[in-house]
Amino acid sequence: MKNIYKITLFFFALSILGCKKDLLDKTPKDRLSPATFFQNESQCKQALIGIYNAIQPNATPSHFYQFDYMSDNGYCQDSWQGSREIGEWLTNTSSWAPYAKWTMDFTIISRANEFLQDISNATVSETVKTQMSAEAKFLRGYAYTDLITYFGDVPLITKVLALSEAYVSRTAKSDVLTQIISDLNDAAADLPVSYSGTDVGRATKGAAIAYKAKVLLYNQKWTEAAQAAQDVIDLGAYSLFSNYETLFDEAHENNVEVIFDIQYISTTQAQPWPSSALSLSSWPTANVTADLINSYYMTNGLPITNANSGYDEQDPFKNRDPRLAASVVLPGSSFGSSTFIPSVDQVPCGARPRKYAALGIADVNNCSLNTILMRYADIYLMRAEALIESGSTEQEIYTLIDKVRARVNMPTVESVEGVGLTQSQLRNIVRHERRVEFYNEGTRYADMLRWQDASLVHDVYGYDKALLSNPASPATWTFKQIKVETRTFDASKGWLWPIPQADIDINKNLLPNNPGY
């Protein structure tokens, strides 16, 4: 699909408001019109790509890595990027991040609705109509999954609205969820299991079922979520990529683990500014918290807080879960062609992300590294979590988590945590596994929202950079954790974002806003 993106993107255009009636009745001469555009498969594909194009970040705070900054995994000290106030629980109705997400998701939805209306009359085969309509429904379901996760009740719009219908009210989250499941079921029924050639990257049957599992899990439909995850497994289309460290390299894109991603291509369709390469490797704001680093177990499977783990606080990265070094630029580790020395780097916490940093890239503003949105490891852990929350403590839960650990040669649950574990113990294990497996993939903050665990909102700690100037001498290489930022959970706001003020100013029917706003 990287090559497909070379096609000029089609953007749906609405008639100019306020014109005379006879002008509105005329076919536009100076721009593309749905009435004249859907004449062949190529044009329909261009319109479809217009929907796919909208899943790319539309603003700085909507980039995936910003959502790790909002969580206990990371920190961005520059307020202008939009994630700091979210992490500090100071979100308000004028905050940039909620506005960017709201706008991005409704752009996807409006384009999908326009596409579904117009392709019905397109002069293409029914086979093409069926598949492309399924892709549009998948993307609409994808966007609504995002919206109800962050905003709760949102307007449910499944058709192109007339101006007289535009002042919509919010729809109950449960009703939106029903529509999401319907869209994803329709998509799964008509999408292929896989593609080849330039079509790789388009939505598949597996993607539709995987997002169905996700939205069911996020909405505590445990039995249904577990079954949807099993349905993905039963497709036999995916497996874990053998090397966790290189899973996120451009050389291994579209590998056997990827279920759905955002596809980029150098120059023609590079990552929107600021790219992950620019932000994670060059900007002084890509902080990894000490809390995240501390959460990775030792290679013997024990947490660093266990007296028998062998952890040395002055040699803190020795014998740690391999996912730590693969995901984080640690003090004294390689940083491109150099060694990372915190005292001369500007990130306050003294550690940077490695995953998605695309270290060594020639032009950080021309990064074509795909962003993985859904991968097979998540299917294993979603099914495990759904089974746990449904009340099961069966062996399959252990097996699912063990498969994810085995890729990086970490010990099994049975060999370290033991067998016959309670629901609470298994819950803690799967939540830990999600954190270390998916660091810097934009999932942690959403996990915090759905788990509603206020203990995860706490002060940010990093390393005292002044003590980390020369790894050759203990006198100049001492690890001491210091407080970097204060974060306090605001219970009055709970776990939802506000409806953006800019939209409320236009449409008062969106009120009342979420609690605390």
Q: For a pLDDT cut of 90, what percent of the chain falls above it?
A: 92
Decide if pLDDT at 262 tops 70.
yes
Where residue 246 falls (left for φ over 0; alpha for ψ -120 to 50; beta otherwise) is alpha
Partners of 477 in beta bridges: 468
* Residues 415-430, mean pLDDT to the nearest whole number: 98
Tokens at 498, concatenated: 């506000």
Give the pLDDT confidence score for residue 29 in this predicted structure. 54
**Distant-in-sequence, close-in-space partners of 91: CB < 8 Å, separation ≥ 6:** 85, 97, 98, 493, 497, 498, 517
Work out the mean pLDDT of the chain and round it to a whole number.
Answer: 94
Give the pLDDT confidence score for residue 9 in this predicted structure. 36
Radius of gyration of the chain (CA): 24
* Residues 143-154, mean pLDDT to the nearest whole number: 98
Q: For a pLDDT cut of 70, what percent of the chain falls above it?
A: 93
* Residues 313-340, mean pLDDT to the nearest whole number: 97
Decide if pLDDT at 13 tops 60.
no
Render pLDDT for 151-196 as a digit per residue (tens, 0 to 9).
999 999 999 999 999 999 999 999 999 999 999 999 999 999 999 9
Candidates 17, 330, 341; CA nearest to 163 is 17
- Among the listed ranges 13-22, 320-329, 350-359, 367-376, which one has the minimum average pLDDT value? 13-22
Decide if pLDDT at 396 tops 50.
yes
C-alpha distances out from residue 272 to 45, 202, 261, 275, Å: 22, 19, 15, 6
Decide if pLDDT at 272 tops 70.
yes
* Residues 481-497, mean pLDDT to the nearest whole number: 97
Where residue 231 falls (left for φ over 0; alpha for ψ -120 to 50; beta otherwise) is alpha
* Residues 136-161, mean pLDDT to the nearest whole number: 98
Confidence of residue 452 (pLDDT cuts 50, 70, 90): very high
Give the pLDDT confidence score for residue 36 in this predicted structure. 74
Give the pLDDT confidence score for residue 149 in this predicted structure. 98
Decide if pLDDT at 386 tops 90.
yes
Decide if pLDDT at 142 tops 80.
yes
Tokens at 98, concatenated: 């909620």
- Among the listed ranges 3-17, 216-230, 272-286, 365-379, which one has the minimum average pLDDT value? 3-17
Render pLDDT for 202-232 as a digit per residue (tens, 0 to 9).
999 999 999 999 999 999 999 999 999 999 9
Decide if pLDDT at 10 tops 60.
no
Render pLDDT for 14-63 as a digit per residue (tens, 0 to 9).
332 333 333 334 455 555 566 678 989 999 999 999 999 999 999 999 99
Candidates 373, 456, 433; CA nearest to 64 is 373
Give the pLDDT confidence score for residue 32 in this predicted structure. 57
Q: How far is CA 207 from the centre of its chain?
A: 14
Give the pLDDT confidence score for residue 30 in this predicted structure. 53
Give the pLDDT confidence score for residue 31 in this predicted structure. 53
Give the pLDDT confidence score for residue 2 in this predicted structure. 57
Q: What is the pTM of this model?
A: 0.94
d(CA 410, CA 300): 7
Do the bridges between strand 334-335 and strand 74-75 make them parallel or antiparallel, or are there none, so unpaired? unpaired
At residue 484, what is the residue type? V
Do the bridges between strand 328-329 and strand 352-353 make them parallel or antiparallel, or are there none, so unpaired? antiparallel
Candidates 410, 407, 408; CA nearest to 297 is 410
C-alpha distances out from residue 429 to 113, 280, 381, 454, Å: 41, 29, 10, 18
d(CA 330, CA 335): 9
Residue that is written with structure tokens 């409704």 in the block:
106
| Distance between first and last Cα of the chain | 41
d(CA 169, CA 156): 8
